[in-house]
Amino acid sequence: MSDTTRILVLCTGNSARSQIAEALLARLGKGRVAAASAGSRPASRVNPHAVEVLAAHGIEWRGRSPRGIDDFAGERFDIVITVCDDARDACPYFPGAGAQVHWGLPDPAAETEPEAARRAFAATYDALEARIGRLLALPLETLAPEAIAERARAIHLESAGPAS
């Protein structure tokens, strides 16, 4: 693995969870990580609540557009993380993934009432921040892909609690 760990986060629409994860990886990775995100069926825009929750944490994310998985065809990533069950089903294996892991999280965009949506996006941000913080605490540059995948799965299971 090179000095920069390349991480791709996949979701269905690339409008909420994967966008938040990409933003957090870029911020918390501080040059250690090159982050990207994509969707199996990209939405027309990034969810405004995702932009809002990122802004509340000092991350400017306006002007971003959802991207499709095909935009990254042929590229190599050290880690590929799916954050929704539909993306895992649509892309059970991403060619070019060193380590592939699933961190299934509820879709905050499923909430239609504005205040409930804000709470759901805040919870998604917190869940991803905790997982990503723990992932980035690992010596990613020196771990084998299998070890990264194993530890990333453990991070998700420990973060999700006994119900997962």
Question: Residue 155: how many CB atoms within 10 A of its CB?
Answer: 20
Active-site annotation holder among 11, 69, 148, 155: 11
Question: Residue 50: how many CB atoms within 10 A of its CB?
Answer: 24
- Annotated catalytic residue 24: no
Active-site annotation holder among 79, 84, 87, 148: 84
- Annotated catalytic residue 91: yes
The DSSP letter of residue 68 is B
Q: Which residues contact 1 (CB under 8 A, 6 or more apart)?
A: 78, 98, 140, 141, 142, 143
Any idea which residue has 């880690």 for tokens? 79
Q: How far apart are CA 74 and CA 72, in angstroms?
A: 6
- Annotated catalytic residue 84: yes
Active-site annotation holder among 91, 101, 128, 155: 91
Residues annotated as catalytic (active site), given as ranges: 11, 84, 91
